[in-house]
Structure 1
Amino acid sequence: MALRVFLVEDSAAQCAYLTQILTTEAKAVIVGVAATETQAVSWLDRHPGQWDIALVDLFLSEGTGVGVIRHCQNRRPEQSILVMTNHARNDHLLHHCERLGVDAVYHKATELDSLIAYCKSMAARMPRCAA
């Protein structure tokens, strides 16, 4: 079973790049994409158990990633919330994400390798279908 990623990103170029790298490097399947908080919340409501990772940009053109993360508070234990940002990492941001139950925070420009490693690790723990 492939790792299912729901991507919340308002930059079309960044979305395309993340889709390409996640599908080729982590062998993930992008099951949904949203550019705004409203779109993301709507998708999550319609597909509650159909994702393994929600990869959420904190700063969106409409709404915020924080609103999306809050909407995921009742997710299944095996579902992960990952945050990505272009903003400098700081203790306040990390602490806030931790309080919201985020599993990891990555800087878009400098930590994509760590993001891919997390996804690969999660995919390796997923059950395989018998052939």
Structure 2
Amino acid sequence: MPTASATTRRARPPRGPLSIFMVEDEPLVQDSLRVVLGGFLGAEVVGSAHSETEAISWLQAHDDAWRLAVVDLFLQQGTGLGVLSWLAPMKNGRTVIALTNAATRANRAQCLQLGADAVFDKSEEINEFLSFCESRSMGLPAAQPPATSRATGRV
């Protein structure tokens, strides 16, 4: 039986609790999200980064450790857009969400174009964000639309 080479191997999302990788440069926001995602979903934040470079390095080293990535757009170094762009060809059925305070129509469109499955405003759409994460933790397909059209930028 043939085996896949390292270059053709596809990441397999881990089984069990929803494993989340978080790109967020504000420690208080990162801590709050850990508590809420863990308590509400039983999810586990398996890694986090404060910058674009740190995020990409972690993702390269832990390709098969996460099922959902939460990416802020404004970071200490680089941008979440750079992370989204890097992640696009690496998703392999996993979910990528942009969670930002800058959820303008233009930013939403750009995030979706770069491969985000949904975009949420941190201050106004946290309940929709949690509902979307919950649907992923239950194994619903990534094509399942979020509860509100604002999350996707669709009108």
Normalised to the residue count of structure 2, the TM-score between the two structures is 0.77
The aligned runs of 1:1-131 (5 Å cut-off) are: 1-87=16-102, 89-125=103-139
% identity of equivalent residues = 34
Higher relative contact order, structure no. (Cα contacts within 8 Å, ≥ 6 residues apart): 1
* Count of residue pairs the alignment pairs up: 125
Q: After TM superposition, what 4+ stretches of structure 1 lie above 3 angstroms from structure 2?
A: none
In 1, the alpha carbon distance for the partners of 2:94 and 2:41 equals: 16
Aligned to 1:114, what secondary structure does the other structure show? Answer: helix
Distance in 2 (alpha carbons) for counterparts of 1:4 and 1:82: 13
**C-alpha displacement at 1:68, in angstroms?**
0.8
Distance 2:63 2:55 in 1: 11
When normalised by structure 1's length, the TM-score is: 0.90
**C-alpha RMSD over aligned residues:** 1.2
1:20 partner letter: V
Q: Which runs of 5+ in 1 are unaligned?
A: 127-131
Deviation at 1:119, TM superposition (A): 1.2
Q: Secondary structure at the match of 2:17?
A: coil
Higher Cα Rg: structure 1 or 2?
A: 2
